[in-house]
Amino acid sequence: MSTLFFSLAIWLGIALAGPGQGSFDVGVVAARRGDHVQAESGFRDALAAGAFDPAVYHGLGNALYRQGKRGPAIAAWRRALALDPNHPDVAANLDRARHESEDRIEQTANPGIFFWQTWLAPNVILYAGSGAVSLGLWWLLLCRIRRLPISPLAVVVPIGIGALFLASTLQSQSAPQGGVVVVPQVAARSALGPVGVDLFVLHAGAEVTILEEDGEHVLISLPDARKGWMASSVLLSTDPRTPFGGVDG
C-alpha cells in the first residue's frame, strides 16, 4: 500500500484543542497499535464531544477503511475535505477509495465564481469576508472622524471582496447536501411506493447529491444527471456538522 495513502500524519503530533481531545488521543493510540475498532470508537467519541476537526475525520476514515467499511470511510474523508479542502493525505485516501468503488462515479467540482471554495476552508472564507467588510467600514468611519478625504477604492474594494466571500458562505450553506451510500447495494427507484420501478443500482461508497427529502426517503442525483429515490438510512451525509451514523458499508 502507498505510504501516502496510509499517511500517519495525524499520529505524529497533530492534536486537538478543546472538546474531544481525550477521545481523539484514545483513537490515535488505538490506531498506532492496530486496533482499528477502538480507534473508530475514539474518533466517534471525539465527534460526539463536538470536535468537528479534519484530523478527527481523517483518523475516523482511516480506521473505517482498514475494517473494510469503504462507504463510511469515504463519507468521513469527504467531511474532512469539507473542513480542509487542501488536506493532501485525505485527498489521496479518497482518490484511492473512489477507484476501488464498484460504481466509479466521476466527481466534478464547479463552484462557479466562488472558485476559492475549492482551496479555502469554510471558516477561513467566513473570517476573511467578515474581516474585509469590517476593514472597509472601519476605514470609512476613521476618515469621517478625522475629516480625511475618503478614497472610494479603499472602502469599496474591501467591502466588495468581503461581500463576495460572505455570499459564497451563504451559497455553500444553501447548496444541496452530499451523501455516500453505506450499504453493500441499493436500488434507486423512479418513485416512492409500489408505482416506482428500479432505475439503477449503487454500491457502498457511491457519492450522490441529495435533492429532496420526503419522510424517510430522499431524491438523489448523480453527476451524469441520473436521479432516483432511496431510503435516507442507506446514506451518510457529507456535512461535517451532522451526526456520523453507525451504518456499516
Spatial contact of 61 and 80, defined as CB atoms under 8 Å apart: yes
Residues 75 and 124 in one domain: no
Residue 86: inside a domain: yes
Given a cut of 60, whether residue 14 has pLDDT beyond it is no
Number of domains in the chain: 3
At 171, the pLDDT band (50, 70, 90 cuts) reads low
Q: Quick check: 97 pLDDT over 50?
A: yes
181 and 130 both lie in a single domain: no
Strands 227-231 and 235-237: unpaired
Which of 165-169, 195-199, 217-221, 228-232 is predicted least confidently?
A: 165-169
**Domain boundary residue among 100, 124, 156?**
100
Does residue 71 share a domain with residue 21? yes
Look at residue 108 and tell me if it is in a domain: no
Q: State pLDDT tens for residues 28-55.
A: 999 999 999 999 999 999 999 988 899 9
Q: Does 55 lie in the same domain as 13?
A: yes
Are 160 and 212 part of one and the same domain? no
In this predicted model, what pLDDT tens digit does every residue of 101-126 receive, in sequence order? 888 777 766 666 776 676 677 777 77
Same-domain check for residues 96 and 164 = no
Domain boundary among 128, 146, 174: 174
134 lies in some domain: yes
Grid cell 478543546 — which residue? 18
Domain co-membership, 95 together with 80: yes
Q: Say whether both 138 and 189 belong to one domain.
A: no
pLDDT at 195 > cutoff 70: yes
The answer to the question of residue 4 being in a domain is no
> Looking at the domain assignment, is residue 243 inside a domain?
no
Q: Do 32 and 89 belong together in one domain?
A: yes
Provide the residue range defining the domain that includes 209. 177-237
Q: Are residues 120 and 185 in the same domain?
A: no
Residue 96 pLDDT more than 80?
A: yes
Examine residue 2 and state whether it is found in any structural domain, yes or no: no
Contact 116, 168 (CB under 8 A): yes
What's the whole-number average pLDDT of the chain?
A: 83
pLDDT of residue 108: 67
What is the CATH classification number for the domain harbouring 207? 2.30.30.40
Of 115, 111, 108, 75, residue with least CA distance to 94: 75
In a domain, 78, yes or no: yes
For residue 246, tell me if it sits in a domain.
no
Q: Are residues 129 and 164 in the same domain?
A: yes
161, 187: one domain = no
pLDDT tens digits for range 48-83? 998 889 999 999 999 999 999 999 999 999 999 999
The residue behind cell 464531544 is: 49
**Strand arrangement, sheet containing 198-203:** 198-203, 185-189, 227-231, 217-221, 207-214, 177-181, 235-237
Q: Which of 105, 110, 109, 108 is nearest to 205 (CA)?
A: 105
* 125 neighbors 100 (Cβ within 8 angstroms): no
